[in-house]
Amino acid sequence: MQFYEGQADIYDKTRTSLLRGRDTMLSLSASHLRVMRASQLKKRLVWIDIGGHNIELMNKFFPISFFDAVYVVDLCEPLLQVARKRFAAKGWKNVTVLCQDASQFTLPEWTDGKDPKGSISFITMSYSLSMIPSYYTLLDRIDYVLSPQDGLLGVVDFYTAGKQPSLHEKAIGGVSKECGWLSRWFWQIWFDFDHVSLGMARRSYLEYKFGTVKIYNGRNRFILPFIVRIPYYIWLGRPRSYDVSKACHAFEIEGGNLIGNCSPILSQLDHKVTDNVPPLEIGEPAMDMKLSPGHNGDVVVDVTPPLSSFHYQVSRPWRLPYYEQPVHKEFRTFIYSFTWEDPFEDMKYLYLSKQDSMLVITSAGDNALHYAIEAQPQRIHCVDMNPQGHLLELKLAGIASLSYDDFFALFGTGQHPDFRGLLDSKLAPHLSSSAYQFWRLNADAFSSAFYMHGYSGWALRLARIIFSLAGVTEHVKRMCDCDTLEEQEKIWRLKLRPVLLNPMVVALLKNPVFCWNALGVPLNQRRMLLEEGSIYDFICHTLDPLTSTYLLKTGNYFYILTLLGHYTPVSCPNYLTLRGFNVLKANSRGVLDAFRLHTDAIVNVLRGLSPWSLTRALIMDHLDWFTPGSKEVVEEVEEFHRVLAPGGLVYWRSASRKPWYNEMWAIRYFWSTISSYARFRFEKAGFEVTSIAVRDGSTATDRVNMYASCWGGAKRS
C-alpha cells in the first residue's frame, strides 16, 4: 500500500483516464438494482465497495441516501483518510470507511455473533480484484454474504484472456474477450511491476463462482488510442444459489418441452452419462456431479453444468438461451432494420384471438408487435438468427422501460442524443447479456439515422444518393406529404418513376451482390423472380399500383420510411403509435409476456415444440431461400404439420407467382435410413392450401406489394 501513500490526494484525477468503465459499471449496477428491488422495498439495502473510490461516482446514478448503509473497505489508510473527509463534507452519515484486509472483511453490524450469510444486497470492486493476492478467499467471502435472491456483484478491472475459451466461458458469452499472445504477454509483465495480476485465474474464478448477468469486454485507448489498448472488462453477476426456477417460465414451451440447453455441455452429456465422461478442458471449473449406480452396474454421473447468462437476468427473460455457432458470426449486423410485410393484410386471414399460440419470423419485430397489440395471443414464438433477435429484444426492453417520447425517438425518428445513457440506465436490465453487448458495440446506430444501418440501410442510402444526383429530393418530400392520391400519383409518374426505372438503377438492382447485401434477397429467391420476368417488370408491377392505391402520408409507412429514412407520427407501424405503445405497456407489460425469442433455425425450434402446441404460423418468404427440391423444406413442412393443432393456419409469401415448394419433388428420409422419392406437396403433408393473392401488375396486393404471391395452408382435422 506504500505505492499509493504519495498519491492519495491526486489518486482519482490521475486514474480517471486509465481506469475506464467505472461509470458504466455503476450505471449498469444502479439500473439493475432498481429492477431487482422493485418487490423488495422493505428489505435493507447495504452496499460494500471493496477498494473504494466508487461512492461519489455512484451518487450520480443511485443516490447514496437511498442506501441503509454503505461500507468502504480498503487497506490503504492514506486513501481512506481522504475519503473520510470527502464523505463528511457531503454529509453522508450512512457511509462507513473500514481499513481492513478485503479477503477477511467484517462489518460493525455483524457483532454479537450475528451470522452475515446472505445479508448484503450489493458489492462492487473497481480495479481491486487484480490487486488482491488471496482472491479465492475474497470471492468465497463475497459469495457467503451476498443475498441469494436480490444480491448483485459489480466488477470492473483489467484482464487478459486466451483465444481458446472453455465451455463455461462459451456458455456465459462475452464478445471480443480474446487477447492476442503479444497483448497477453506485454500487459501481464507491465502490470506485474505494480503488483497487479492480469492472469486469467481471477476472472475465471469470478465467472465460475457467480452467475453472470452482464459482460462487456473493452479496450482502454490510453494516451495513444491506436497503439495503447489495455484490455478491461465490466461484469455484473449474482450468486449461483439464486433460484433460477423463477426465470424458467421463459424456457418452458407448451406441453412441457424445454427450448435451449442449460449449457453446451448438455448436448454432449445429455444430463446422464456412463463412466466415459470426457475430461474437462484445462482451466475448466469443475461441475457439480453426483454419482449413482446405473441399472446395469455402470456408474451414472448426474451433471449440473454452469448455467448461462440468460438464466440470471434480473428482468423477465424473453430471449431463450443460445450459444454462438459459426452461422451466427456470418451476420456482422442485422439484415433488416424494419419489417417488409404488411401485418394489416395478415390480420384479415389470421383470425387471431387470445387463445392462439403462434410462430413468426422475427425480422425487425414490427409485425410480431402488431399481432400482440391487436389480438394479444397467449404465445408468440419469434424465430431468427441473431442479430435480428437483438433488435426485437431492444424494442421489448424499450417498451418495458422508456417513455413514449424516448421510444419514438429511437425507432420512429431513428435518432436519440443519449442512447448510451438509456442503454446503461434503463434498457440494460431488460436485455440479455448478448443483446446488451451488441448494442454497446453498436451504440452509434442511433447517433444519426438508425434505419441507415443494417444491410437494408444500404438500400436506403443508395436511394438518397440517386434522388440527390437526379435532383428530385424535394419531389420525394412533396410526394410523402401529398393529401390526395391524384397528386401523389402525378409526382411519381412524372418525377420519380423515370429516375428509379433508369437502366443504370435497374442494372444495379439486378446485381446478385447488391440484392443480398442491400436488399436481403438471396440467390435462390432472385432466381425465382427472374424465371418469371425481368427486374424492370418486377419494379413496375411493384411500385406503379401503390401510388394510386395508398396515400403515403397517412396510409403507407413502409414507403415513408424508404423515402424519408424515418417514420412520422401519423405514418408508422402500430407499435410506434401512442395507442399501440400503451397497449403493450399496460397491466405491468403483461402483453409482452407472450414473447419467446429463439435464435435458431425454424426447423430446430419446431422440433422442440410439442404436437398441437401452435395454432398459427407466419413464415414470410422464408421458403424462397432454399434450393429447389431441398429436403430441408420437406422436413420443415412436416414439422409444421406435427406442431400445428387441427385447423391451425400457416401463411407464407413468395417472390414467385408459382413457388416451387407448393408442389415439388423431394427426398424423404425414414428412420430406417431407407430413402425413396415421393411426390410431396403441402396438400399431401395434410394442409388445405389456398391462394390468398397473386400479383398481376395492375393492382396492389398490400401496402408493400413486393411479393408476387401470398398463400395460406390450413391443417386438416
The DSSP result for 340-402, as a single string, is -S-HHHHHHHH---TT-EEEEE-TTSHHHHHHHHHH--SEEEEEE-TTHHHHHHHHHHHHHHS
For 502, the domain range is 454-564
Peptide bond into 387 cis (omega under 30): yes
Residue (of 258, 283, 155) closest to 213 by Cα position: 155
Helix (H) or strand (E) holding 218: strand 210-221
pLDDT of res. 114: 81
Write the pLDDT tens digit of every residue in 376-419: 999 999 999 878 999 999 999 999 999 999 999 999 999 999 99
- The verdict on 586 and 516 lying in the same domain is no
- The verdict on 14 and 95 lying in the same domain is yes
- The verdict on 8 and 118 lying in the same domain is yes
633 pLDDT above the threshold of 50: yes
Residue 413 inside a domain? The answer is no
Residue 424 inside a domain? The answer is no
Q: Is the dihedral of CA 323, 327, 330, 333 positive or negative?
A: negative
**In Å, how far from its chain's centre is CA 413?**
21
Residue 349 inside a domain? The answer is yes
**In Å, how far from its chain's centre is CA 423?**
12
Residue 113 inside a domain? The answer is yes
The C-alpha cell at 467 is 434522388
For residues 635-653, give the mean pLDDT.
Answer: 93
5 pLDDT above the threshold of 70: no
Alpha carbon distance, N-terminus to C-terminus of the chain: 77
- The verdict on 600 and 475 lying in the same domain is no
- The verdict on 227 and 87 lying in the same domain is yes
Domain boundary among 225, 242, 259: 242
Domain boundary among 564, 587, 620: 564
- The verdict on 145 and 231 lying in the same domain is yes
Residue 518 inside a domain? The answer is yes
- The verdict on 477 and 505 lying in the same domain is yes
- The verdict on 201 and 153 lying in the same domain is yes
Domain boundary among 521, 544, 564: 564
Q: Domain with 34 in it: what CATH number? A: 3.40.50.150
pLDDT, averaged across the chain: 83
H helix runs in 549-577, sequence order: 552-555, 557-564
Q: Is 591 helix (H, G, I), strand (E, B) or coil?
A: helix
| Domain count of the fold of the chain | 3
Write the pLDDT tens digit of every residue in 225-265: 556 689 999 999 999 887 665 554 434 443 333 444 333 33
Write the pLDDT tens digit of every residue in 316-337: 789 988 877 777 666 777 888 9
159 pLDDT above the threshold of 50: yes
- The verdict on 505 and 377 lying in the same domain is no
**High-pLDDT (> 70) share of the chain, %:** 83
pLDDT of res. 8: 43
Which pTM was predicted?
0.88
Residue 165 inside a domain? The answer is no
Residue 295 inside a domain? The answer is no
- The verdict on 510 and 607 lying in the same domain is no
Residue 635 inside a domain? The answer is yes
